[in-house]
Chain A
Amino acid sequence: TQLLEQSPQFLSIQEGENLTVYCNSSSVFSSLQWYRQEPGEGPVLLVTVVTGGEVKKLKRLTFQFGDARKDSSLHITAAQPGDTGLYLCAGVYAGGTSYGKLTFGQGTILTVHP
Protein backbone atom coordinates (compact mmCIF):
# COMPACT_ATOMS: atom_id res chain seq x y z
CA THR A 1 0.00 0.00 0.00
CA GLN A 2 1.42 3.36 -1.00
CA LEU A 3 1.21 5.99 1.69
CA LEU A 4 1.38 9.73 1.47
CA GLU A 5 2.51 11.20 4.76
CA GLN A 6 1.31 14.75 5.34
CA SER A 7 2.49 16.88 8.24
CA PRO A 8 1.69 18.56 10.46
CA GLN A 9 -1.88 17.38 11.02
CA PHE A 10 -2.79 20.54 12.91
CA LEU A 11 -1.34 24.02 12.71
CA SER A 12 -2.50 26.98 14.77
CA ILE A 13 -0.72 30.25 14.13
CA GLN A 14 -1.13 34.01 14.40
CA GLU A 15 -1.90 36.27 11.49
CA GLY A 16 1.25 37.32 9.70
CA GLU A 17 3.28 34.21 10.48
CA ASN A 18 4.72 31.90 7.85
CA LEU A 19 4.09 28.16 7.67
CA THR A 20 5.02 25.10 5.68
CA VAL A 21 3.09 21.88 5.12
CA TYR A 22 4.88 18.76 3.91
CA CYS A 23 3.91 15.69 1.93
CA ASN A 24 6.29 12.77 1.72
CA SER A 25 6.30 9.33 0.18
CA SER A 26 8.81 6.59 -0.45
CA SER A 27 7.45 6.18 -3.98
CA VAL A 28 7.73 8.43 -7.03
CA PHE A 29 4.78 10.49 -8.18
CA SER A 30 3.92 11.22 -11.78
CA SER A 31 2.08 14.31 -10.55
CA LEU A 32 0.93 15.81 -7.29
CA GLN A 33 -1.95 18.12 -6.51
CA TRP A 34 -2.77 20.39 -3.59
CA TYR A 35 -6.35 21.00 -2.57
CA ARG A 36 -8.08 23.16 0.00
CA GLN A 37 -11.32 22.07 1.61
CA GLU A 38 -13.86 24.11 3.54
CA PRO A 39 -16.38 22.55 5.94
CA GLY A 40 -19.32 21.04 4.10
CA GLU A 41 -17.65 21.40 0.73
CA GLY A 42 -15.51 19.21 -1.48
CA PRO A 43 -11.78 19.77 -2.02
CA VAL A 44 -10.91 22.60 -4.39
CA LEU A 45 -7.81 22.31 -6.53
CA LEU A 46 -5.07 24.84 -5.80
CA VAL A 47 -2.24 23.61 -8.00
CA THR A 48 -0.79 20.63 -9.86
CA VAL A 49 2.96 19.99 -10.02
CA VAL A 50 4.43 17.59 -12.51
CA THR A 51 8.15 18.19 -12.99
CA GLY A 52 10.78 17.38 -10.36
CA GLY A 53 12.06 20.59 -8.78
CA GLU A 54 9.07 22.57 -10.00
CA VAL A 55 8.01 25.63 -8.01
CA LYS A 56 4.63 27.27 -8.46
CA LYS A 57 3.32 30.39 -6.78
CA LEU A 58 -0.25 31.37 -6.12
CA LYS A 59 -0.21 34.80 -4.44
CA ARG A 60 1.18 34.10 -0.95
CA LEU A 61 1.25 30.32 -1.49
CA THR A 62 4.36 28.62 -2.83
CA PHE A 63 4.28 24.99 -3.90
CA GLN A 64 7.40 22.94 -4.45
CA PHE A 65 7.87 19.49 -5.94
CA GLY A 66 10.95 17.57 -4.84
CA ASP A 67 13.67 16.83 -7.36
CA ALA A 68 13.01 13.10 -7.05
CA ARG A 69 9.23 13.64 -7.21
CA LYS A 70 8.72 11.85 -3.89
CA ASP A 71 7.82 14.87 -1.81
CA SER A 72 6.17 18.27 -1.97
CA SER A 73 5.66 21.28 0.23
CA LEU A 74 3.22 24.14 0.56
CA HIS A 75 4.54 27.35 2.06
CA ILE A 76 2.26 30.22 3.05
CA THR A 77 3.77 33.63 3.66
CA ALA A 78 2.16 36.09 6.04
CA ALA A 79 -0.84 33.91 6.78
CA GLN A 80 -4.25 35.55 7.06
CA PRO A 81 -7.43 34.37 8.79
CA GLY A 82 -8.89 33.70 5.35
CA ASP A 83 -6.27 30.98 4.86
CA THR A 84 -7.92 28.92 7.59
CA GLY A 85 -9.03 25.55 6.26
CA LEU A 86 -8.06 21.98 5.50
CA TYR A 87 -5.17 21.54 3.07
CA LEU A 88 -4.74 18.25 1.26
CA CYS A 89 -2.02 16.86 -0.93
CA ALA A 90 -2.86 14.10 -3.40
CA GLY A 91 -0.62 12.25 -5.78
CA VAL A 92 -0.71 9.91 -8.72
CA TYR A 93 2.03 7.33 -8.39
CA ALA A 94 4.27 6.65 -11.36
CA GLY A 95 3.76 3.22 -12.78
CA GLY A 96 0.41 2.78 -11.10
CA THR A 97 -2.21 0.63 -12.73
CA SER A 98 -4.72 3.46 -12.80
CA TYR A 99 -3.79 6.78 -14.32
CA GLY A 100 -6.69 8.43 -12.58
CA LYS A 101 -6.34 7.27 -9.00
CA LEU A 102 -5.34 9.90 -6.47
CA THR A 103 -3.77 8.93 -3.15
CA PHE A 104 -4.49 11.56 -0.51
CA GLY A 105 -2.55 12.61 2.53
CA GLN A 106 -4.45 12.89 5.81
CA GLY A 107 -4.66 16.64 5.55
CA THR A 108 -3.49 19.64 7.56
CA ILE A 109 -6.02 21.67 9.48
CA LEU A 110 -4.76 25.25 9.52
CA THR A 111 -6.16 27.87 11.86
CA VAL A 112 -4.95 31.44 11.54
CA HIS A 113 -5.89 33.66 14.46
CA PRO A 114 -6.40 37.41 13.95
Chain B
Amino acid sequence: EAGVTQFPSHSVIEKGQTVTLRCDPISGHDNLYWYRRVMGKEIKFLLHFVKESKQDESGMPNNRFLAERTGGTYSTLKVQPAELEDSGVYFCASSPQGPPYGYTFGSGTRLTVV
Protein backbone atom coordinates (compact mmCIF):
# COMPACT_ATOMS: atom_id res chain seq x y z
CA GLU B 1 0.00 0.00 0.00
CA ALA B 2 1.44 3.35 -1.02
CA GLY B 3 1.80 5.83 1.80
CA VAL B 4 0.90 9.48 1.97
CA THR B 5 2.90 11.39 -0.60
CA GLN B 6 3.78 15.04 -0.32
CA PHE B 7 5.62 17.26 -2.74
CA PRO B 8 7.71 19.15 -3.02
CA SER B 9 9.83 17.90 -0.14
CA HIS B 10 11.52 21.28 0.10
CA SER B 11 10.61 24.72 -1.16
CA VAL B 12 12.48 27.98 -0.78
CA ILE B 13 10.60 31.07 -1.92
CA GLU B 14 10.84 34.78 -1.45
CA LYS B 15 8.45 36.74 0.69
CA GLY B 16 5.44 37.75 -1.37
CA GLN B 17 5.59 34.79 -3.72
CA THR B 18 3.04 32.02 -3.99
CA VAL B 19 3.66 28.38 -3.15
CA THR B 20 1.40 25.37 -3.58
CA LEU B 21 1.93 22.22 -1.58
CA ARG B 22 0.38 18.96 -2.67
CA CYS B 23 -0.68 15.88 -0.75
CA ASP B 24 -1.76 12.53 -2.13
CA PRO B 25 -3.42 10.52 0.64
CA ILE B 26 -3.67 6.77 0.85
CA SER B 27 -6.28 5.60 -1.65
CA GLY B 28 -9.66 5.20 -0.02
CA HIS B 29 -8.90 7.41 2.97
CA ASP B 30 -11.74 9.87 3.24
CA ASN B 31 -10.09 11.91 5.99
CA LEU B 32 -7.23 14.20 5.06
CA TYR B 33 -5.50 16.56 7.46
CA TRP B 34 -2.96 19.33 7.17
CA TYR B 35 -0.63 20.15 10.06
CA ARG B 36 2.31 22.48 10.43
CA ARG B 37 5.36 22.58 12.65
CA VAL B 38 7.05 25.92 13.04
CA MET B 39 10.61 25.76 14.40
CA GLY B 40 10.66 25.37 18.14
CA LYS B 41 6.93 24.78 18.40
CA GLU B 42 4.65 21.78 18.51
CA ILE B 43 2.89 20.37 15.47
CA LYS B 44 -0.34 22.29 15.01
CA PHE B 45 -3.55 21.43 13.23
CA LEU B 46 -4.50 23.46 10.17
CA LEU B 47 -7.54 21.79 8.69
CA HIS B 48 -9.46 18.58 8.10
CA PHE B 49 -11.21 17.34 4.97
CA VAL B 50 -13.75 14.58 4.82
CA LYS B 51 -13.78 13.62 1.17
CA GLU B 52 -13.96 16.96 -0.64
CA SER B 53 -15.62 18.88 2.19
CA LYS B 54 -13.84 20.97 4.80
CA GLN B 55 -14.81 19.49 8.15
CA ASP B 56 -12.77 21.87 10.26
CA GLU B 57 -10.52 24.72 9.14
CA SER B 58 -10.18 26.35 12.54
CA GLY B 59 -6.39 26.05 12.47
CA MET B 60 -5.81 27.99 9.26
CA PRO B 61 -3.69 31.00 10.24
CA ASN B 62 -5.30 33.58 7.95
CA ASN B 63 -6.82 34.10 4.53
CA ARG B 64 -3.46 33.82 2.81
CA PHE B 65 -3.86 30.08 3.15
CA LEU B 66 -6.21 28.21 0.84
CA ALA B 67 -6.75 24.47 0.91
CA GLU B 68 -8.64 22.43 -1.62
CA ARG B 69 -9.35 18.77 -2.15
CA THR B 70 -10.60 18.16 -5.63
CA GLY B 71 -12.88 15.18 -6.04
CA GLY B 72 -11.99 13.94 -2.61
CA THR B 73 -8.60 12.69 -3.76
CA TYR B 74 -5.43 14.76 -3.55
CA SER B 75 -5.27 18.05 -1.71
CA THR B 76 -3.39 21.28 -2.25
CA LEU B 77 -2.44 23.98 0.21
CA LYS B 78 -1.66 27.33 -1.34
CA VAL B 79 0.03 30.16 0.48
CA GLN B 80 -0.37 33.51 -1.25
CA PRO B 81 1.44 35.78 -0.62
CA ALA B 82 3.96 33.98 1.57
CA GLU B 83 5.34 35.70 4.65
CA LEU B 84 8.46 34.92 6.68
CA GLU B 85 6.41 33.43 9.53
CA ASP B 86 4.95 30.83 7.17
CA SER B 87 8.25 28.96 7.22
CA GLY B 88 8.02 25.51 8.71
CA VAL B 89 7.30 21.90 7.90
CA TYR B 90 3.85 21.19 6.53
CA PHE B 91 2.56 17.68 7.11
CA CYS B 92 -0.35 15.96 5.48
CA ALA B 93 -1.99 12.93 7.04
CA SER B 94 -4.84 10.66 6.09
CA SER B 95 -7.01 8.08 7.79
CA PRO B 96 -9.95 5.91 6.80
CA GLN B 97 -11.92 7.21 9.75
CA GLY B 98 -11.48 9.77 12.49
CA PRO B 99 -9.84 9.01 15.84
CA PRO B 100 -9.26 6.69 17.53
CA TYR B 101 -7.96 5.45 14.19
CA GLY B 102 -4.39 6.59 13.82
CA TYR B 103 -3.21 8.76 11.03
CA THR B 104 -0.62 8.00 8.37
CA PHE B 105 1.57 11.02 7.87
CA GLY B 106 3.50 12.06 4.82
CA SER B 107 7.15 13.04 5.07
CA GLY B 108 6.26 16.71 4.99
CA THR B 109 7.18 19.74 2.93
CA ARG B 110 9.82 22.00 4.40
CA LEU B 111 8.90 25.54 3.40
CA THR B 112 11.41 28.33 3.81
CA VAL B 113 10.34 31.90 3.08
CA VAL B 114 13.25 34.31 2.69
Contact = CB atoms under 8 A, between A and B. Distances in A.
A and B found bound together: yes
Interface stretch (B37-45, B66-74, B77-85): B37-45
B28 interface: no
Interface residues of B, number: 29
Given A100-B31, A100-B98, A45 B104 contact: yes
A95 interface: no
A33 interface: yes
B99 A100 contact: yes
A102 B42 contact: no
Interface size grouping (class) on chain A: 20 to 34
Contact of A106 (B42, B50, B56, B108): B42
Given A30-B99, A100-B33, A102-B99, A42 B105 contact: yes
B107 A33 contact: no
B89 to A, nearest CB: 9
A68 B45 CA distance: 25
Contacts of B95: 100
Contacts of B100: 30-31, 33, 48, 50, 92
Contact of A42 (B101, B102, B107): B107
B50 to A, nearest CB: 8
Interface string A59-96: 00000000000000000000000000000101010000
Given A42-B93, A104-B44, A106-B41, A33 B102 contact: yes
A97 B56 contact: yes
Given A31-B99, A104-B44, A107-B42, A98 B56 contact: yes
Given A45-B103, A100-B56, A102-B103, 12 more contacts: A4-B42, A31-B99, A43-B43, A43-B91, A43-B105, A92-B100, A98-B56, A101-B48, A102-B35, A102-B99, A104-B35, A106-B42
